[in-house]
Amino acid sequence: MDLKSLIRTIPDYPHEGIMFRDITTLFGDARGFRRTVDELVQPYAGYKIDAVAGIEARGFILGGAVAHQLSVSFIPIRKKGKLPWRTIGADYELEYGTDRVEIHEDAIAPRARILLVDDLIATGGTTAAGIELLRRTGAEVVGCSFVIELPDLNGATVLDKLGVPFHALVQFEGT
């Protein structure tokens, strides 16, 4: 099964010149979605993982399914102001400013081994903020799993500098 063929590309969304990789079509294919989850989990089979963290919003869908498959807990990493309890946060750069992601301050046990999951790695900014946030709690990020990598945007370099291995199922050239 070619997972890449199940991902829809939408030109000029959300801005002109962007090729948006829409994985809702992948989610809509039961066999494709199941295979995606299996392949996100596979590199970490046999690892001791205490929890899966997923980055808002598509990372929630994928991360929840991966956590279920691994029989571990799930930690939502949300955009600023979305969590109802006391939080800690990390800022990251956008092309037009900064944004912030947060987790509940009591979401992670000390020294927990975490797998971070999201739909896509592009520049690595959001993922790096998630890793920083998890590490500030005392957690160890054992790796990251993504459906898509956009290698031209150099997110792999960011993760390499942070010393976090990653796994992506498909690559798309360009932005």
Write the single-letter amino acid at 55.
I
Task: Give the phi and the psi of residue 115 in degrees, each rounded to 5.
Answer: -105, 125
95 catalytic, yes or no? yes
| Long-range contacts, stretch 153-158, CB < 8 angstroms, 24+ apart | 153/122, 153/123, 153/124, 154/123, 154/124, 155/121, 155/122, 155/123, 155/124, 155/127, 156/121, 156/124, 157/124, 158/123, 158/124, 158/125, 158/127, 158/128
- Give 63-90 pLDDT, tens digit per residue: 999 999 999 999 999 999 999 999 999 9
**Measuring CA to CA, which residue among 50, 47, 41 is closest to residue 113?**
50
Q: Which of 21, 58, 78, 102 is catalytic?
A: 58
Percent of the chain with pLDDT strictly greater than 70: 99
Q: Which residue has the tokens 């990789």?
A: 21
Taking only the tens place, the pLDDT of each residue in 5-61 is 999 999 999 889 999 999 999 999 999 999 999 999 999 988 999 999 999 999 999
| 173 noted as active-site residue | no
How many beta carbons lie within 10 A of that of residue 130, not counting itself? 27
Neighbour count for residue 27 (Cβ, 10 Å): 18
pLDDT score of 93: 85
User: Going by DSSP bridges, is the β-strand pair 140-149/73-79 parallel, antiparallel, or unpaired?
Assistant: unpaired
Q: What is the pLDDT of residue 110?
A: 87
Q: State the total domains in the chain.
A: 1
| pTM of the model as a whole | 0.95
Which residue of the set 31, 86, 95, 173 is catalytic? 95
- pLDDT averaged over every residue in the chain: 95
- 14 preceded by a cis bond (ω within 30 of 0): yes
Indicate if the pLDDT at residue 94 is higher than 90: no
Question: CA-CA distance, 159 to 131, in Å (whole number)?
Answer: 9
Over the stretch 24-35, which tens digit does the pLDDT of each residue have?
A: 999 999 999 999
CATH at 145: 3.40.50.2020
CA distance 50 to 114: 6
